[in-house]
Structure 1
């Protein structure tokens, strides 16, 4: 965390500009397709810092953009009643993952991030469509949440396997976007508490995450504007192709 604070407090405007541009891009992706802010931000910021430092910087913009996404829809109490087993699993998996992975080397975490990005990108490019019945949803929900939490604790990315699971529930478009906002909000809070417990996010340093909030919000507004003007199929293909290349870079760097 000291490296992150030093980076943000340095007089080098290039670093700050790069960080702001990353969050504008990540926010634009989230505004356009409803997800991707942590995935893009963690992936690109990890070129400048460790994945956990990037996760710490992501906490504030991730929380506010997810709350925005959650509150933009109708009353979500029905989704909360339906998804609470998965959300509880996310919390348990995040905290358990923090304990199990506390001594994981930074290179291992980067490789794990790369694998998560590759899996997510391949599923997106292949347009994989899964279906989960109501009975299977009740059985799989806690396990899916727990796995998502462990991945989040290790890499700071909480889209795998939660997003494919939510997409398989047959929710309509608005409910799906709101369900992702709910899951991402819970994941962000759980990850923040996990980082605090691990000493990786002291409250005195958490304020540095605020620097990324305005660029992320600006990017999200830009993405919503682009969504109404771009071919969504082409945009999603470019997005997932970029994630695939980025994930391959992290995995290659680990074995190189």
Structure 2
């Protein structure tokens, strides 16, 4: 693949990933790592995501309830950092794709439960111990796959946030995961100034896609958002499974 074709492919990937993130609040790393994995190693794709992830999640977490959400989620966020740093280097070493396969299967199962209108709820009394556990597992999964979604997304969805609070909480979770993963990538030698420059170039198409996706989300009802949310998870999980098996 020549340089122009590669750059066009990368830009189109980030537009698509940004659009999905704008609509349902997640999907940027899942789609980007999955699609870019066709033309580069997973660790390289994850390194390209650093700046788009930081900026789009900073944009996503803005809102009037950020302080309250951060106070509620800090045990999970601390666990995420611990899990990611403990698993540092796993993404660079990952070869067989088994972690990604199981991640995809879990996403599919969770999405199917959600589409059947099953309501998962976490009691407030359980958050203080369940949050750190979810965070550590999410961090380890992030270190192994470059994707931040499990089990953090089901956990956040089970906390009873409304659609805008959920999107804001996802943004906060993802930005912490991105920062933690960045340190791991630097330590593994997968992120340097050259890669950081390429990551900066990927920002504009990601923002363009996210802007359009957010415009769509603001025009849909809570019920439609829930349908899009779980359908998006189903599609992302199915994609990860198929990509790993083929």
Q: 1:245 aligns with which of 214, 238, 245?
A: 238
CA separation in 2, counterparts of 1:233 and 1:144?
22
Structure 1 counterpart SS, 2:210:
helix
Deviation sequence 1:192-212 (CA, Å, 0-9, x none) = 111011111123431210111
Give the corresponding residue for 1:19.
10
**How far apart are the structure 2 equivalents of 1:59 and 1:92?**
19
Indicate how the Cα distance of structure 1 residues 219 and 83 shifts in structure 2: closer, same or farther if over 3 A, else same.
same
1:135 Cα deviation after fit: 1.5
* 1:173-252 aligned within 5 A: 173-227=163-217, 228=219, 232=225, 235-236=228-229, 239-252=232-245
* Match of residue 61 from structure 1: 52
- Distance in 1 separating the partners of 2:151 and 2:55: 22
Q: Which of residues 5, 22, 30 in structure 2 aligns to 1:39?
A: 30
Provide closer, same or farther for how the CA distance between residues 232 and 138 of structure 1 changes in structure 2, counting only shifts above 3 A: closer
Which runs of no fewer than 5 residues in structure 1 stay unpaired?
1-6
- The aligned length equals 240
Cα offsets for 1:215-245 (capped at 9, x unmatched): 0000001112333279546645653443243
Q: Which moved more, 1:238-247 or 1:189-198?
A: 238-247
Deviates more, 1:176-185 or 1:233-242: 233-242
CA contact (8 A) 2:18 2:213 kept: yes
- State the 1:172 CA deviation: 2.3
Query: Does the CA-based 8 Å contact 2:79-2:136 persist in structure 1?
Result: yes
Aligned partners of 2:130 and 2:201: how far apart in 1?
Answer: 38
Please give the TM-score of this superposition, normalised by the length of structure 2.
0.89
Measured in 2, the distance between the counterparts of 1:183 and 1:234 equals 22
Indicate the SS of the match to 1:95. Answer: helix
1:95 equivalent to 2:85? Answer yes
* 1:136–1:237 distance in 2 versus 1, CA, 3 Å: closer
